Amino acid sequence: MLKIDALTKRFGDKTAVDAANITVDQPTMIGIIGRSGAGKSTLLRMVNRLSDATEGSITFEGEEITSLRGAARRDWQSRCAMIFQQFNLVPRMDVVSNVLHGTLNKRSTLATLFNLYPQADIHKAIEILDRLGIAEQAPKRAEALSGGQQQRVAIARALMQDPKIILADEPIASLDPMNAQVVMQSLRDIHEQDGRMVIANLHTLDTARRYCDRVIGMRDGRIVFDGTPEQLTTGVARDIYGAGSDFSEAATSTEIETLDRSAAEKAYA
């Protein structure tokens, strides 16, 4: 399905992503882990074509992505939704309008200017919001919502695009543990129920382990691990994070249970 081949991105003399190879045969939920600055975001941004690759290619269902220009590139972007750490909504517009932005690729600028969305799309947007459990927030401004709710609006915008792939760039890094769980569970449900491919950058190991079918580890722009969560041993994790022997999984955790667990372990010790 998706084939990333020797994908490289350089900023000046600094290599952010170094000859990354990833092949995905069927819709999978993939977690990319690594320290900040490891090149995770750059990789996702190249897949969405928000930024251009220096070298290498991305092919999706036989179609070359890296060379798309203009309308063809925007068409690809509409099929490959993206979710951001800081949600990237339009804060002063209402929630439904933000979700309807998922259809912009099909609308003319003039129709957008006068806010003329078809009634069917408005209905669909509210149904998606209902699926994510935030339909009641529909008429509110996006800025009035909590972080977790805003991220779900962003997911709704992504779903409105009806994409084949959803890319999530640190979707839970700005959220508290409870909201992080809700957002990750929504992404997991979307993957399981709709059969969409989800690629999420995560900086915590246990989230990747818990929600993903496949984990890719990056360090300094290179892919250093690619396998199932079971294959991800503490030794491999130390390698990905470049940490010493004092590294433990709980150190990167945002889960409440792990905090309880590590507190309990300390109590036993």
Rounded to a whole number of angstroms, the minimum distance from the CB of residue 172 to other proteins is: 12
102 Cβ contact partners less than 8 Å away, ≥ 6 residues apart: 81, 125, 156, 157, 158, 159, 160, 161
Residue 108 binds other proteins (CB under 8 A):
no
Q: Does 118 bind other proteins (CB under 8 A)?
A: no
116 binds other proteins, rule: CB under 8 A = yes
114: left (phi over 0), alpha (psi -120 to 50) or beta: alpha
3-state SS, residue 10: strand
Distances (CA, A) of 84 to 24, 25, 51, 63, 199: 22, 25, 15, 25, 12
Residue 199, phi then psi, degrees to nearest 5:
-120, 120
Q: Assess contact for 60 and 66: CB atoms under 8 A.
A: no
Q: Applying CB under 8 A, what is the total number of residues that bind other proteins?
A: 24
**Smallest distance, other proteins to C-beta of residue 195, A:** 23
Tokens of 227: 């396998």
Q: Does 144 bind other proteins (CB under 8 A)?
A: no
CA distance 247 to 11: 31
Distance separating alpha carbons of residues 264 and 104, to the nearest angstrom: 50
Q: Which of residues 136, 189, 192, 260 is near other proteins by CB under 8 A?
A: 136
Binding to other proteins by CB under 8 A, coded x per residue (else -) over 154-193, reads: ------------------------xx-xx-----------
Q: Give the DSSP per-residue string, 125-143.
A: HHHHHHHTT-GGGTTSBGG
CB of 96 to other proteins, least distance (A): 6
**Smallest separation, CB 177 to other proteins (Å):** 9
Nearer to other proteins, 77 or 258 (CB): 258
Q: Which is nearer to other proteins, 114 or 268 (CB)?
A: 114
Should residue 245 be labelled a site residue for other proteins when binding is judged by CB under 8 A? no
Task: Compute the least distance from the CB of residue 145 to other proteins, in Å.
Answer: 8
Judged by CB under 8 A, which of 36, 86, 146, 228 binds other proteins?
A: 146
Minimum CB separation of residue 109 from other proteins in Å reads 16
Q: Which is nearer to other proteins, 94 or 226 (CB)?
A: 94
* Residues ≥6 apart with Cβ < 8 Å to 105: 74, 75, 77, 78, 161
* Calpha distance 264→215 (Å, rounded): 28
Decide: is 133 part of the binding site for other proteins (CB under 8 A). yes
At closest approach, how far in Å is the CB of 257 from other proteins? 15
Nearer to other proteins, 20 or 134 (CB): 134
Burial class (CB in 10 A: 0-12, 13-18, 19+), 46: buried
> Which positions touch other proteins (CB under 8 A)?
96, 114-116, 119, 122-123, 126-127, 130, 133-136, 138-139, 145-146, 148-149, 178-179, 181-182
